[in-house]
Amino acid sequence: MGMNDASISKAAVIGGGVSGIAAAYYLQKNGVPVDLYESLPGIGGRIGSDYMNGRPLDYGGKNIGLKYERFREFVKDLGGLDFEYFGFNTSQVINGRVSAFTKENERLYNILRVLSLAGLTGSIKLVPLLNAVRRDPSLGFLNTPYFNAIADRYDQRSLASFVPDKCAKYLLRPVTVRMNGAEPGECFPGNFGSNIALLLDSYEQLREGMQVMLDRFRLFSSSVTFLTGHHVSKVEAAEDVTRVFYTDGSDRLSSGYKVVIVTLPAIQASGLFRESLPDVASLLASVLYNPVAVALVAYHENVFTDMQRAMVFDQTSPLSNAGAYGVGDLDLVRYTFSGKAARKVVTDTADPKEVVALGEKIIEPYFHIRKNRRREYIYKYISPGLCAYSPFHHRLLERLDEYSGKYSGLYFTGDYRRGASLEACFRASAETVNCAMKRCFR
């Protein structure tokens, strides 16, 4: 095994997903050279893209909120990219009737519909939370004093137990199953601030897709060494150096760093510390993740109309939602399979054609699918997929920080730190890099 200490003045970022990209970006802005380790051939992780007829399409997270200040600053620093309106237009079946929810010029209707679904008891519970995040957008992330107090009071029960059944089924589930891949009974009140932020924002997407952004980042990052195809197997922390053990496809190597920031999903990060810090490994492994499958399917004719571009489905359906890829892509369907019913049917061994056919069967009563032939499709099964955090999640983060605080060069960030949105990942990485700079580089 080779030993390379030439990088001792550098920082290492482990994981090339959005949190790793953000950590490398902020380290570079602070003048710190970075080795970014990624086991896959390219960066992007769960915001990856694939091509259909020469067009890059995002199968991962692509919605960019108008309130995403840090992420938009990042895009601007890359030279700027064009955004296109994505909107918020969806429907669901309630008591046998299709009910629409849209942010497009129907504010009063939306408010009345939310209150109707929440009911009196649900409104009493949820309206104060909504108002708190509306007044202070910083509460729309994990681990804030306001929602930590909610967790201390209510997280012994699930989010489903926090509100009436109708509210959980028709109001909360469409949010949790989409953002966390989880049922309300698998989520907890103390983490719901990050979901509320999703509801209060409006969205755009990159006109040319996330892949162009990723390519720009590699081009603009002169002080980042992209070690793609490098699999990290272990991390060992000491007082003066943190060592990263990895393979580059052939040799087993290790390098020492002044700072190592682990940005992998918590369940994957856990495996790096089974030998060196088993308590940390156990803590990371307790963060909940759920798989998600996404199919992007192009048809010969429009599937949707301008007025009805998406549908969410209830807990009996393996298809959690289906919608147009963009406002102008009414012939291009994004099928998302997540939630408890999906986990029973859509697995890593499922036939993609059968999964797509299942999605088509489910949406046929509502959209133009019958006799509308497919042109082509992209299918991805992602695991670990969507992060659902943990009960009393702020206590887990406190314990994690206590462990890493024993070693000045070891830090943890990712989708479990501030939330799973692009903005939350950038915020968490910025805070982590700021802490590392104060402790190690100044």
Q: How far are the Cα atoms of 97, 295, 314, 322, 359 from residue 364, in angstroms, in the given order?
A: 15, 16, 16, 11, 9
Q: How far apart are CA 239 and CA 352, in angstroms?
A: 49
Cβ proximity of 389 and 288 under 8 Å: yes
Distance CA 255, CA 2 (A): 9
Ordered per-residue pLDDT tens for the chain, 442 residues:
444 555 667 899 999 999 999 999 999 999 999 999 999 999 999 888 888 988 889 998 889 999 999 999 999 999 989 999 886 677 887 776 777 666 555 555 556 667 777 888 888 999 999 999 999 999 999 999 999 999 999 999 999 999 999 999 988 999 999 999 999 999 999 999 999 998 888 899 998 889 999 999 999 999 999 999 999 999 999 878 899 999 988 889 999 999 999 999 999 999 999 999 999 999 999 999 999 999 999 999 999 998 889 999 999 999 999 999 998 899 999 999 999 999 999 999 999 999 999 999 999 999 999 999 999 999 999 999 999 999 999 999 999 999 888 888 999 999 999 999 999 999 999 999 999 999 887 6
Strand bridging mode 97-102 / 55-58: unpaired
pLDDT of residue 116: 76
Q: What is the DSSP letter of 273?
A: G
Residue (of 391, 183, 420, 148) closest to 286 by Cα position: 391
- 240 closest CA partner among 411, 432, 3, 409: 409
Sorted by where each starts, the structural domains of the chain and their CATH numbers stand as: 2-50+209-287+390-441 (3.50.50.60), 104-200 (no CATH), 288-388 (3.90.660.10)
pLDDT of residue 2: 43
Predicted pLDDT of residue 429: 98
DSSP string, 294-357: EEEEEESS--SBTTB-EEE--TT-S--EEEESSTT-TTEEEEEE-SHHHHHH--TTS-HHHHHH
Contact present, 330 and 306 (Cβ < 8 Å): yes
Taking the model in full, what pTM does it have? 0.93
Residues 338 and 290 sit within 8 Å (Cβ to Cβ): yes
pLDDT at position 106: 54
Residue 16: its pLDDT value, please? 96
